[in-house]
Structure 1
Amino acid sequence: MTTTFVLIPGAACGSWHWHLPAAELRARGYEVVSVDLPCEDDAAGLEEYADAVVAAVAGRRRLTLVAHSFAGFTAPLVCARVPVDLLVLVAAMVPLPGEAPDEWWAATGHPDAQVRRAGRAAQKAGKGTGAEGVPEAAVPGSAADPFFQDLPPDLAAEAAARWRRQSEKPAARPWPMAAWPEVATRFLLCRQDRLFPAPFLRAVAAERLGVVPDEMAGGHFPMLSRPVELADRLEGYGRATAAR
């Protein structure tokens, strides 16, 4: 049975932000489900985000969930509801029981106030450019852009234009799980990530998951900057899990 990779976007993002590695994995013969979450719906919280993923994978087996950024809050909820072989966190947030996403930044000791404001502005407004209080990040792909600084200018501009409005509701409510799910978990960080710097994520992964993360080059969106390398990583994880 072929592994199905389930690609879950972060805040204010959609399936388009996964389109390059999705195409790469399909070309290699894998099943791919790229999910659009109801991020613009002010009635939808994390439970409804999990509902969307569960509905998208209905009837499928051999699932590898791949969660980017804010999806670190959603993917474990899915693992508690459907059989999952592997959870891969890519430059992702790792919650603790009862912790709201809005509280995560301070609770983890995120080191950069300006980047933190940019990240929160994107989560709340769905804007990749011109976030209030972060004027230097107004140009997608610029050295100050915490999201797309390593993308070609045209791709960076399109990625920013594809931001969706992100409701504040899921960030305001506590993470409802009592513990991390009993599922094999891999963590992949990006060494040039400006939103979640590598030393910061190494500490988060160690303290909250007890793991040493894998690392690759790139900024916060490796699915756009290095889709083939990311597909290689995911394929390797899937093969190692299937061999157990």
Structure 2
Amino acid sequence: MVAFLLVPGAGGDATYWSELVPRLTTGGHEAIAVDIAEDNPALGLPEYATIVSNAADGRREVVLVAQSMGGFTAPMVPVDLRALIFVNAMIPVPGETPGEWFAATGASQARREIEQAAGRGPDFDAEWSFLHDVPADVLPRLAPSREPADTPFGQPCTFTAWPDVPTHVVVGRDDRFFPADLQVRVARERLGLEPRVVPGGHLLALANAAGLAAVLLDTAG
């Protein structure tokens, strides 16, 4: 049996994983969807890591799955890992802040380029960026979005090296927020890994839960 520890992206809402959890647990595995009140300015990256560690509740050899900004929490979580899997994630280098990551990787420019190619103006549209491929029957079940506090964006990711465990990167082919080409390049440069590219946008666990579950079950061994 595998215990999947599911770390959400900015906003921190555990319901993001609601379509994925039943697909992971049908084979007898365990899936723990972590909720982090990222709209609380009193919390930052160290507190996020503690919340994730507490959710593991002493389990050993967990598969930590980090979505989007959860990539900055992942290396700071002191749990015994079986594997580490990034999903449309911000992959940091030691000491980097989430705010620095966008300029360092060219993420903002990459997003703007696909917006311009689609004939869109400079105003950010969360629905266009995040919800464009989430199934219509799933949309009504989404929790109200939380606006993440500014606190973690200026905090360094305090780790010295990646854990010596199998590490994988999953990229949504149709991601409009972190375009696939950007993610593939960052994974190669920062981890020396070739990602698995699957159909779906930034909210991959909602847009293509079955496809993501298949990849997670396969990579977790």
Amino acid of the residue matched to residue 230 of structure 1? L
Deviations 1:37-88 (A, max 9, x none): 131221111110000011011121230001000000001111xx22101000
In structure 1, list runs of 5 or more residues that go unmatched.
Answer: 118-132, 240-244
**Residues 115 and 76 (structure 1), Cα distance of their counterparts in 2 relative to 1, 3 Å cut:** farther
CA distance in 1, matches of 2:81, 2:10: 22
Task: Report whether the alignment pairs 1:194 with 2:193.
Answer: no
Q: Pick from 166, 169, 184: which aligns with 2:148?
A: 166
Match of 1:149 in 2: 132
**8 Å CA contact 1:3, 1:61 repeated in 2:** no
Amino acid of the residue matched to residue 149 of structure 1? H
Q: Which moved more, 1:171-180 or 1:85-94?
A: 171-180
**8 Å CA contact 1:114, 1:134 repeated in 2:** no
CA distance in 1, matches of 2:7, 2:185: 23
Task: Report whether the alignment pairs 1:134 with 2:151.
Answer: no
Q: How does 1:76-225 map to 2 (within 5 A)?
A: 76-78=75-77, 81-110=78-107, 111-112=109-110, 114=112, 134=123, 137=125, 140=127, 145-153=128-136, 155-156=138-139, 158-159=141-142, 162-225=144-207
Instruction: Find the residue that maps to 1:44 and give its secondary structure.
Output: coil
The normalised TM-score by structure 1 is 0.82
After TM superposition, the runs of 4+ consecutive aligned structure 1 residues lying more than 6 A away are none
Instruction: Find the residue that maps to 2:28 and give its secondary structure.
Output: coil
Instruction: Find the residue that maps to 2:20 and give its secondary structure.
Output: helix
CA distance in 2, matches of 1:203, 1:6: 26
**8 Å CA contact 1:115, 1:194 repeated in 2:** no
Instruction: Find the residue that maps to 2:220 and give its secondary structure.
Output: helix
Deviations 1:206-244 (A, max 9, x none): 1000111111011011111111111111111112xxxxx
Amino acid of the residue matched to residue 181 of structure 1? P
Instruction: Find the residue that maps to 1:20 and give its secondary structure.
Output: coil
Deviations 1:145-182 (A, max 9, x none): 111111234534654x5211311101111111123232
CA distance in 1, matches of 2:151, 2:42: 7
**8 Å CA contact 1:86, 1:184 repeated in 2:** yes
CA distance in 1, matches of 2:6, 2:113: 25
Amino acid of the residue matched to residue 102 of structure 2? W
Instruction: Find the residue that maps to 2:193 and give its secondary structure.
Output: coil
Amino acid of the residue matched to residue 217 of structure 1? P
Match of 1:4 in 2: 3
**Residues 115 and 220 (structure 1), Cα distance of their counterparts in 2 relative to 1, 3 Å cut:** farther
**8 Å CA contact 1:69, 1:93 repeated in 2:** yes
**Residues 113 and 238 (structure 1), Cα distance of their counterparts in 2 relative to 1, 3 Å cut:** closer
Instruction: Find the residue that maps to 2:41 and give its secondary structure.
Output: coil
Instruction: Find the residue that maps to 2:32 and give its secondary structure.
Output: strand
Q: Which moved more, 1:180-189 or 1:46-55?
A: 180-189
Corresponding residue pairs, total: 214
In structure 2, list runs of 5 or more residues that go unmatched.
Answer: 116-121
Match of 1:57 in 2: 56
Instruction: Find the residue that maps to 1:33 and give its secondary structure.
Output: strand
Q: CA deviation at 1:114?
A: 4.1
Match of 1:122 in 2: none
CA distance in 2, matches of 1:146, 1:231: 22
